[in-house]
Amino acid sequence: MWQWLTNVFRLGLKELNSLRADPVLILLIVYVFSFAVYSVATGAKLEVSNASVAYVDQDRSALTGRILGAILPPEFNPPQEISAGEIESVMNSGKFVFVLSFPPSFEADVLSGHKPQIQLNVDATAMAQAGNGSVFLQQIILAEVAKFVSGDDITTTRLIDLVVRTKFNPNLNSIWFSSVMQIINNITILSVLLTGAALIREREHGTIEHLLVMPVTPSEIMVAKIWANGLVIVVAAILSLWIVVQTVLAVPIAGSIPLFVCGAVLYLASVTGLGILLATFTTSMPQFGLLSLPVLVIMNLLSGSTTPMESMPVWLQNVMQLSPSTHFVSFSQAILYRDAGLDIVWPDMVVMVALSAVFFFIALKRFRVTMATVR
Domain range spanning residue 73? 53-150
pLDDT digits (tens, 9 = 90+) for 279-314: 888 888 888 889 999 999 998 889 888 888 888 899
Same domain, 319 and 248: yes
| pLDDT band (50, 70, 90) for residue 186 | very high
Same domain, 253 and 314: yes
Same domain, 240 and 273: yes
Is the bond leading into 74 cis (omega within 30 degrees of zero)? yes
Buried b (16+ CB within 10 A) or exposed e, 8-26: beebbeebeebbeeeeebe
pLDDT at 251 exceeding the cut of 80: yes
Q: Side by side, which strands form the sheet with 53-57?
A: 80-81, 53-57, 98-102, 119-122
pLDDT at 161 exceeding the cut of 70: yes
Find out whether 232 and 25 touch, Cβ atoms under 8 Å.
no
Question: Domain for residue 81, yes or no?
Answer: yes
Same domain, 255 and 274: yes
| pLDDT band (50, 70, 90) for residue 344 | very high
Find out whether 335 and 250 touch, Cβ atoms under 8 Å.
no
Weakest mean pLDDT among 50-54, 56-60, 207-211, 272-276 = 207-211
Same domain, 104 and 180: no
For residue 163, is it left (φ>0), alpha (ψ between -120 and 50) or beta? beta
User: Which DSSP string corresponds to 185-252?
Assistant: HHHHHHHHHHHHHHHHHHHHHTTHHHHHTSS--HHHHHHHHHHHHHHHHHHHHHHIIIIIIIIIS-PP
The pLDDT, as a whole number, for residue 203 is 75
| CATH code: domain of residue 126 | 3.40.1710.10
Residue 25: closest CA among 250, 189, 255? 189
Same domain, 113 and 221: no
Question: Domain for residue 79, yes or no?
Answer: yes
pLDDT at 197 exceeding the cut of 60: yes
- Residue where a domain stops, chosen among 101, 117, 150: 150
pLDDT above 90 covers what percent of the chain? Answer: 47
Q: How many domains does the chain have?
A: 2
pTM for the predicted model, two decimal places: 0.80
The pLDDT, as a whole number, for residue 219 is 82
Question: Domain for residue 272, yes or no?
Answer: yes
Find out whether 221 and 195 touch, Cβ atoms under 8 Å.
no
pLDDT digits (tens, 9 = 90+) for 106-139: 999 999 988 899 999 999 887 778 888 999 999 9
Alpha helices (runs of H) in the chain, residue ranges in sequence order: 2-20, 23-32, 35-43, 62-69, 87-93, 106-111, 127-150, 174-205, 208-212, 218-239, 257-279, 285-301, 314-320, 324-336, 342-374
Same domain, 114 and 218: no
Question: Domain for residue 199, yes or no?
Answer: yes
Same domain, 201 and 318: yes
The pLDDT, as a whole number, for residue 14 is 85
Same domain, 275 and 364: yes
d(CA 193, CA 286): 12
φ/ψ (deg, to 5) at 72: -125, 160
| pLDDT band (50, 70, 90) for residue 216 | confident
d(CA 155, CA 143): 10
Same domain, 133 and 226: no
pLDDT at 264 exceeding the cut of 90: yes
| pLDDT band (50, 70, 90) for residue 154 | low
pLDDT at 33 exceeding the cut of 90: yes
The pLDDT, as a whole number, for residue 43 is 81
d(CA 326, CA 337): 16
pLDDT at 66 exceeding the cut of 60: yes
Query: Span 17-22, mean pLDDT?
Result: 84
Question: Domain for residue 265, yes or no?
Answer: yes
Same domain, 145 and 241: no
φ/ψ (deg, to 5) at 349: -65, -40
Question: Domain for residue 167, yes or no?
Answer: no
Question: Domain for residue 155, yes or no?
Answer: no
Question: Domain for residue 124, yes or no?
Answer: yes
pLDDT at 178 exceeding the cut of 60: yes
User: Which DSSP string corresponds to 13-34?
Assistant: HHHHHHHHT-HHHHHHHHHHTT
The pLDDT, as a whole number, for residue 4 is 85
The pLDDT, as a whole number, for residue 153 is 59
d(CA 230, CA 272): 7
d(CA 78, CA 54): 9
Half-sphere exposure at residue 335, Cβ-oriented, CA atoms within 13 angstroms:
25
| pLDDT band (50, 70, 90) for residue 374 | low
Same domain, 10 and 136: no
